[in-house]
Chains A and B, each alone.
Chain A
Amino acid sequence: MTEIFGVPLQALYGQLLVGLINGAFYAMLSLGLAVIFGLLNIINFTHGAQYMMGAFCSYFLLQYAGVGYWWSLLLAPIVVGATGIVIERTMLARLYKLDHLYGLLLTFGLALIIQGVFTNYYGSSGMPYRIPDELAGGINLGFMFLPKYRAWVIAASLVICLTTWYVIERTKLGSYLRAATENRALVQAFGVNVPRMITLTYGFGVGLAAFAGVMAAPIYQVNPLMGATLIIVVFAVVVIGGMGSILGAIVTGFGLGIVEGLTKVFYPEASNTVIFVIMVIVLLIKPAGLFGRER
């Protein structure tokens, strides 16, 4: 068997794949956080819980309505995004004039409520979600075995991330969004309904988290606490990348996933902490983050 630095290549490829998968989730979640932060100036601590709700939504749809994976991929983000819109209208909208930190505290409380309710009914053990038939099995690439579902997750998340980037950076709608991020009052003076835009942006960010949750369901199982620790890693990813750039969030997300995967091969003890260590190094060298700007 071929080896590199005493590690079999098979294991290296395997962990690289796992790293890419994790990176796909980091990218999608930090993208949602960045979009929400850009317009609302709120760090959405509920993001992890909303990712979990997406996974549960697809589980419920399958269990009680017989709706399969593909429809869930469309429906779950809409349903969870709608709950996000309700949260924004009834609660977050009251906080915009206050210190940003209140938004963090409110969404932290909401995350506790949501996770607590789900843990109450479903315990903390995971429930399996079957991979859809079309994506079961895998392809033998010659040097490694690639499960079809994992390839799909990487491809789909790339498409979603790049589409989001395109919409925000290259379309008329995106230009309104970016303008409102810079100067809300001025955009409103031009006749754009900024409050509605804010509401929809939050709904979109939450929907993105739910979409990631549906994609995660067959890989990580459906578990009430699946988002709780993930969100802390995503925060570190956001600090590393800086929230100034959409493309930056995507690149940082995938990049850190790969680094984490490689760490699992070469120094497994540090695989849990490597992202935090990188965060420390980035803070020392470039405090604003790799793609960030001070604001």
Chain B
Amino acid sequence: MAAPDLTADAVPVASRPILAATAAMAVALALAPHVGIYPVFLMKALCFALFACAFNLLIGFGGLLSFGHAMFLGTAGYVAAHAAKVWGAPPEFAILAGTAAAALLGVVSGALAIRRQGIYFAMITLALAQMIFFFYLQAPFTHGEDGIQAVPRGRLFGLIDLSGTLVMYYFVLAIFLGGFLLIFRVIHSPFGNVLKAIRENEPRAISLGYDAERYKLLAFVLSATLSGLAGATKAIVFQLASLTDVHWTMSGEVVLMTLLGGMGTIFGPVVGAFAIIGLESYLAGFGQWVTVITGAIFVVCVLAFRRGIVGELGAWWARRGS
């Protein structure tokens, strides 16, 4: 019953039911603030869901475990917040600037990290992220421990005032769905299939004539860019960019969300992000015990629950069907 390897597809990929489920998810999310779910919580969860989906693109379909994804989330957040506050840029430009910065960082760090594989890849990304963390700790524009505060949300395209919570929520939902569908499209594209082939058997993919390094780098940059989109949006929503988002614990958190939800599944990261963010807001008063519980979830997932929530559900569904 154990999953054979870290990245094996838990659910057979068939796009039509997944598209139907995506539509159902979109409707549910659009209605959620009207049935009494706190919109600020939903926005936070959606930002993290996009972050986790971007991370999952790399681990679930490329087989690359990055332990430094916080650097993209945080970088985009800082750049977006700086653009919106200091340059007075409109929100759409601030978010684009943040996303572009994350993409650029993704190119550089990805080109370095893919020089090694497996366990080394994880350690290198972690070390690079720590270097970026120290850079932001010392750089004057980030305001160190205080972070960039009171970032203006501004008017979208100069027309729509984002200061209203519901307006902001639908904007975030649109960004999340856009990112989610893009990832879905990438996974089912020829590019996505080559990526999976490289994950399963890299020497063989190379012998078939695929430039494995280029594919891996492209996947890394794509993942970094979408993580940046999540980070930039998060900075505009919460009007804050701080060191928390570049800290190594954040890199661990996105791993946890993806692991809990189900690595290599389409919806797993979304479920994982909502579960973890929900748990954290529920346990907010318990201080450091949150860290302990987070660690415990890691241990339980690795020892007994490697497919994650969505992966287990998918396996149960497949068993029932046969």
Binds A, one of B46-54, B93-101, B200-208, B284-292: B284-292
Which residues in B have their C-beta under 8 angstroms from that of A235?
Answer: 123, 126-127
Asked if A165 is at the interface of the complex by the 8 Å CB criterion, the answer is no
Binds A, one of B10-18, B168-176, B269-277, B299-307: B299-307
**Chain B's nearest CB lies how many Å from the CB of A4?**
26
Partner of B302, one of A102, A232, A269: A102
With the chains together, A233 CA to B131 CA distance in Å? 10
With the chains together, A290 CA to B118 CA distance in Å? 18
Asked if B316 is at the interface of the complex by the 8 Å CB criterion, the answer is no
Asked if B39 is at the interface of the complex by the 8 Å CB criterion, the answer is no
Asked if A106 is at the interface of the complex by the 8 Å CB criterion, the answer is yes
Partner of A115, one of B287, B291, B303: B291
With the chains together, A113 CA to B294 CA distance in Å? 8
Shortest Cβ distance from B138 into A: residue: A269
Partner of A109, one of B5, B118, B287, B302: B302
Asked if B134 is at the interface of the complex by the 8 Å CB criterion, the answer is yes
Asked if A112 contacts B295 (CB within 8 A), the reply is yes
Asked if A210 is at the interface of the complex by the 8 Å CB criterion, the answer is no
With the chains together, A229 CA to B129 CA distance in Å? 12
Which residues in B have their C-beta under 8 angstroms from that of A117?
Answer: 292
Asked if A7 is at the interface of the complex by the 8 Å CB criterion, the answer is no
With the chains together, A98 CA to B290 CA distance in Å? 28
Asked if A109 contacts B112 (CB within 8 A), the reply is no
Asked if B306 contacts A102 (CB within 8 A), the reply is yes
**CB-contacts of A240-295 with B (<8 A):** 269, 272-273, 276-277, 279-280, 283-284, 287-288
Shortest Cβ distance from A269 into B: residue: B138
With the chains together, A280 CA to B65 CA distance in Å? 18
Known contacts A101-B6, A112-B291: A236-B123 contact under CB 8 Å: yes
With the chains together, A229 CA to B291 CA distance in Å? 16
* Overall SS of chain A's interface: helix
**Chain B's nearest CB lies how many Å from the CB of A228?**
8
Asked if B115 contacts A273 (CB within 8 A), the reply is no
Known contacts A98-B2, A100-B118, A235-B123: A106-B291 contact under CB 8 Å: no
**Chain A's nearest CB lies how many Å from the CB of B104?**
16
With the chains together, A177 CA to B254 CA distance in Å? 37
Which residues in B have their C-beta under 8 angstroms from that of A269?
Answer: 138
**CB-contacts of A112-141 with B (<8 A):** 112-117, 119-120
**CB-contacts of B135-191 with A (<8 A):** 135, 137-138
Asked if B287 contacts A120 (CB within 8 A), the reply is yes
Known contacts A102-B306, A109-B298, A115-B291: A276-B118 contact under CB 8 Å: no
Which residues in B have their C-beta under 8 angstroms from that of A115?
Answer: 291
Partner of B135, one of A109, A113, A273: A273
Which residues in A have their C-beta under 8 angstroms from that of B303?
Answer: 91, 94, 106
Known contacts A105-B259, A116-B289, A120-B289: A239-B5 contact under CB 8 Å: no
**Chain A's nearest CB lies how many Å from the CB of B65?**
5
Asked if A119 contacts B291 (CB within 8 A), the reply is yes
Shortest Cβ distance from B59 into A: residue: A101
Which residues in A have their C-beta under 8 angstroms from that of B317?
Answer: none
Asked if A146 is at the interface of the complex by the 8 Å CB criterion, the answer is no
Asked if A116 contacts B124 (CB within 8 A), the reply is no
Which residues in A have their C-beta under 8 angstroms from that of B131?
Answer: 273, 276-277
Asked if B298 contacts A112 (CB within 8 A), the reply is yes
Which residues in A have their C-beta under 8 angstroms from that of B294?
Answer: 109, 112, 116
With the chains together, A236 CA to B129 CA distance in Å? 11
Known contacts A109-B298, A113-B299, A116-B295: A239-B120 contact under CB 8 Å: yes
Asked if A104 is at the interface of the complex by the 8 Å CB criterion, the answer is yes
Partner of B299, one of A106, A239, A287: A106
Asked if B288 contacts A116 (CB within 8 A), the reply is yes
With the chains together, A113 CA to B6 CA distance in Å? 23
**Chain B's nearest CB lies how many Å from the CB of A116?**
3
Which residues in A have their C-beta under 8 angstroms from that of B259?
Answer: 105
With the chains together, A100 CA to B65 CA distance in Å? 11
With the chains together, A114 CA to B296 CA distance in Å? 10
Asked if B116 contacts A106 (CB within 8 A), the reply is no
Shortest Cβ distance from B7 into A: residue: A99
Known contacts A104-B122, A112-B294: A232-B127 contact under CB 8 Å: yes
Partner of B124, one of A37, A94, A279: A279
Interface centre among A119, A232, A280 (most CB of B within 10 A): A232
Which residues in B have their C-beta under 8 angstroms from that of A43?
Answer: 119, 122-123
Asked if B238 is at the interface of the complex by the 8 Å CB criterion, the answer is no
Asked if B248 is at the interface of the complex by the 8 Å CB criterion, the answer is yes
**CB-contacts of B241-255 with A (<8 A):** 248, 252, 255
- Top 4 closest A-B pairs, CB basis? A109-B298, A112-B295, A116-B291, A113-B295
20 A-B residue pairs with Cβ-Cβ distance under 8 Å, sorted by A, are A43-B119, A95-B302, A101-B118, A104-B65, A105-B255, A106-B298, A108-B252, A109-B297, A112-B294, A116-B289, A116-B290, A116-B291, A119-B291, A233-B127, A236-B130, A272-B137, A272-B138, A279-B124, A279-B127, A283-B115
Known: A102-B6, A232-B127, A280-B128. 15 other contacts (CB 8 A): A98-B2, A98-B5, A101-B122, A105-B298, A106-B298, A106-B302, A113-B291, A120-B287, A235-B126, A236-B123, A236-B130, A239-B116, A276-B130, A276-B131, A283-B115
